[in-house]
Each structure stands twice: as C-alpha cells, then as structure tokens.
Amino acid sequence: MKTTKIVSTGACVPEQIITNDDLAKIVDTSDEWIVQRTGIRQRRISGGENTSVLAIGTARMVLERAQVEPKDVDLIIVASVTPDYGTPSLACMVQKEIGAENAVAFDVVAACSGFMFGLSVADKYIKTGLYRNAIVIGAETLSKIINWEDRATCVLFGDGAGGAYVEASEDSGIMQEDLGSKGELWEILTEGYTSPANAFNDVKPGVAPDYYVNMDGRSVFKFATKMVVKSVNRVLEQAGVTPEEIAFVVPHQANVRIIDVVAHKSGIPREKFYTNMDHYGNTSSASIPMALNELNSKGLIKRGDKVILTGFGGGMTWGTMLITW
C-alpha cells in the first residue's frame, strides 16, 4: 500500500527570546502566573523577521536533511494565519527563494490545525500518484497580530516555523487520519479582521480591535479537551491500534493543562506527550512540526515507532494523524 512517509523535519525560529519576566515589564503579569496557567516560560519573538523568512529557513533545512535538490520538489504547502501578504502565498515565496522551480505551491489556512490539514492535502496528492513528494510547513509571526496590552493573550503566543519533507513510500508513513471543522464556534477564536471599507460606503478604514487575537479561553479549553480526545480515540479505533502501542504523541502546544486532560481522557500515558511550549509558547500552525522536529532531532523517534500528531485551532478545526515512523 502506498503511504506518505516523513523523510526529514526542520524548524526555524527568531533569535530573540522573550521571557515571562520580560512580559511582566509591559503588562500586569508574572512568571508564576503564566507558568501555572499555561506551562510557558519563554517564547521566540520576531526581531524583524517576517513569516516568509522562517518558512524559507525551514524549507532549506528539510531539503538539506533529506538530501533532495530543490528542482526535484513537486509540491510546497505552507499553513499560516500570519502571512507576509494577502498574496502572494508564502509557498510561492518559499518556492522562489529555495529554487524549487518545478513545484506547485500554495497556502492553507486552518489556524493551529494548519500543518495537519496541509499534511493531509500532501498525503492525498502523493497517494493518488499525481506528485511524488512535498514540503509541508507551518509558519507564523503571531507577534504582529497580538495586542501587547492584553495580558490574557500576549503571554500565550510565539513566532516560529516547522515543517517536513515527505514522499511516497511502500512501508511506513501516514496510516490513519481524522480531520474536522465546527464552524458554528468560529467566534470563540478570531484574528486578522479587515473592514469592508471602500470609496462607496461609510465604513471606516483602519485597524479594528478584531484585527488582534481575540479568544474565549474557557470555550477553547472546553472544545479542545473534548474534540482532541474524540479525534485521537477515533484514529486509534479505526487503525486497530491500542494506546500502549503509541511511542509518542505530538500535540499542539497551546496549554499544558489541555495536554494533561487529553492524556488522562485518552488513556495514553502523559509521559508519551512531547511538549516544548515552555520554550516556544503557542506558535499556532508551527507548533506541531516544531515539536516533531525537536523530537526527531534528539533521536527519540525510531523507525517503526507509532506516533500520533494531533491539534486544534480556530474555525474551530481539529486534526489527528497516526504515523508509522
């Protein structure tokens, strides 16, 4: 059976580190308050790099590690809610800079589930035989859509990119997936609103408060702890795999409390959930591939291991994949 195998991973983050103590200098918060509620201790924040810089750096890393020439890449998909422009896509910018002249390139938007949706799209193209391989990236500079006076949100997010080079395989790869959307809850997590102002109406132009991240934290927590558990259980059941067979779970790095609840309800031991949010915060679509890259770079995953990738995001959306490494 043809599958889509992750051949290499990579990541790229800004050099600038902002600690909880740094945030306490600009908003009413503290290291203790942030750590207890989120598990986050620091995050990377752009020192001027836009999202494309991080995406390009990630693409170069995954190709170097896979030992693949840019001209041999068939497909580039970038997931992001913070692109440099409305158009061109980040994927086209990546294509130009890495010299992947033969690749089809486009972006996807599914918030923090974006990498999962992008990986699913690449998987379908590869399984149908249309393309042989793909670069899939999640990249964000969330710092540019954060209200730095809102302590409820500015402590949560960071900037970064992560990704993978994938190709057709006959033995290992993506074995099962579960993606979903619940659009009736779209209002509980929003960002980037732009007004319909033009020369023929009375709508005022400019940046509205809804441009920044707005989140009903309690509702997001309730959604995540319910839907992620259902999604993980559904994938395990459909694949005929038990929780004991899972080597690692790579979850979206949103909040340590959410991960604790998901671990408890799913029956998968908490120690199998890999986290790095203490160093990077919530990087939206970049969080899963960044964590996966760290896990892979440390040599903790071995070929043949069963790994679950799972996340949720604005929309609301969710995505889970079972991968045989």
Residue 31 CB coordination number (10 Å): 17
Residue found under tokens 């991973």: 9
Active-site hit among 252, 255, 293, 296? 252
279 annotated active-site: no
Backbone torsion region of residue 214, taken as left when φ is above 0, otherwise alpha when ψ lies between -120 and 50, otherwise beta: beta
**Contact (CB, 8 A) for 162 and 5:** no
CA atoms within 13 A on the CB side of 98: 33
Structure tokens given for 28 = 């009413």
Task: For residue 10, give the nearest of 57, 68, 77, 79 by alpha carbon.
Answer: 57
Beta pairing partners, 138: 79, 162
- How many angstroms separate the CA atoms of 80 and 51, rounded? 9
Contact 273, 259 (CB under 8 A): yes
The number of beta carbons lying within 10 Å of the beta carbon of residue 177 is: 21
Q: Enumerate the H helices of 129-216 as residue ranges.
A: 151-154
Catalytic, 92? Answer no
CA distance 150 to 27: 7
**Is residue 34 within a helix (H) or strand (E), and if so which, with residue range?**
helix 31-38
DSSP 325: -
Active site residue 154: no
Of the residues 20, 50, 92, 112, which is catalytic?
112
Would you name the residues annotated as active-site residues? Answer: 112, 252, 282
